[in-house]
Amino acid sequence: MASRRLAILLGVLVLIGLAGCVAVSPPSNAGDEPDTEALFEHTFVYGDDLEDVTGEMTIEVTGGEESISETVRVYDRPYAHDREEVLETPDPEREGHVFASDPSGAWWYYPEQSLAERHEAAEPFESAEIRSDRAEMAEWQREWYDLEYRATEEIADREAHALEMELREEAIEDGVSVLVGNTEYVYALETVDAPDELTVVERTVWIDDEYGYPLKERQVFELGDGERYELVERFETVEFNSGLEDETFAFEPPENVTIETR
């Protein structure tokens, strides 16, 4: 039962983590300790020099003394292009999962079910509008956390700054959601038997010094019964500004796959 619960949470938390992946601009003076307020203000906004990101990420969920992990291939071109492919996982139901989004909408592909789900945007997403929405969300969420700059560490052979965020007691958790364009979508978490309450109580992000992109993120989630789980996402390899083309983010469902609309 514990392993099954971890597997369910892995699916839920990966949705949260990958869909809500954040980045910040590096400090203007590399010789000074970064200002925590300035870092958080840019938490949802990528550095101006960043064009795209490619890499392999390990995602691990720990509950008590038990852990499960999977490996995901990530392609990101801010702010309207994103693709994640599950490469290795202990959960047979997640093998080969693909998420792909571009300005026209998004695809979710579940090969074990021979199912593809499609969300068609009413209007094409605009990168500038998404960036603006993310900046507004950062301002809104700032009051939720106490901030502390931790240290500089090496992640994926790159220098990164660690910013710790602890949820304040008076903060109110509104739900698990992600901004896409001008619309806030709440994931249909009931499809993986998600818990009714899921609150982020601790969060640390390791930010690439050169491109201002998160190379690692640790989050502690608390369920309604007080039980806590830790999610750690970490790039094992990463490449910046490799020139990703639109085709990388396109998805064509295989033949004989059922297509449903979200």
| Segment 1-7 mean pLDDT | 48
What pLDDT, in 10s, does the model give residues 78-89?
Answer: 989 999 999 999
| Segment 108-114 mean pLDDT | 95
What per-residue confidence (pLDDT) applies to 224? 75
Cα separation, 154 vs 137, in Å, equals: 29
For 146-185, give one letter per residue: b (16+ CB within 10 A) or e. eeeeeeeeebbebbbbbbbbbbeeebeeeebebbbbeeee
Cα separation, 125 vs 116, in Å, equals: 21
What per-residue confidence (pLDDT) applies to 31? 54
- Contact between 119 and 262 (Cβ < 8 Å): yes
Name the fold adopted by 2-261: outer membrane lipoprotein receptor (LolB), chain A (2.50.20)
Cα separation, 10 vs 70, in Å, equals: 9
Q: State the pTM of this model.
A: 0.79
Return the beta strands (E) in 195-244 as ranges.
198-208, 214-223, 228-240
- Tell me which of 99-108, 113-122, 171-180 is least confident: 171-180
Domain ranges of the chain: 2-261
What per-residue confidence (pLDDT) applies to 81? 95
H or E segment to which residue 36 belongs? helix 36-41
Instruction: Give the pLDDT band of residue 14 (cuts 50, 70, 90).
Output: low
- Contact between 150 and 143 (Cβ < 8 Å): no
| Segment 91-100 mean pLDDT | 91
| Segment 177-201 mean pLDDT | 44
Report whether pLDDT(260) > 80.
yes
Report whether pLDDT(28) > 50.
no
Residue with tokens 């890499």: 55
Instruction: Give the pLDDT band of residue 238 (cuts 50, 70, 90).
Output: very high
| Segment 165-189 mean pLDDT | 47
CA 145 to each of CA 19, 131, 149, 162, 182: distance values in angstroms, whole numbers, following the listed order: 20, 21, 13, 15, 24
For 71-90, give one letter per residue: b (16+ CB within 10 A) or e. ebebbbbbbbbbbbbbeebe
Cα separation, 167 vs 14, in Å, equals: 20
- Contact between 229 and 63 (Cβ < 8 Å): yes
Cα separation, 190 vs 197, in Å, equals: 12
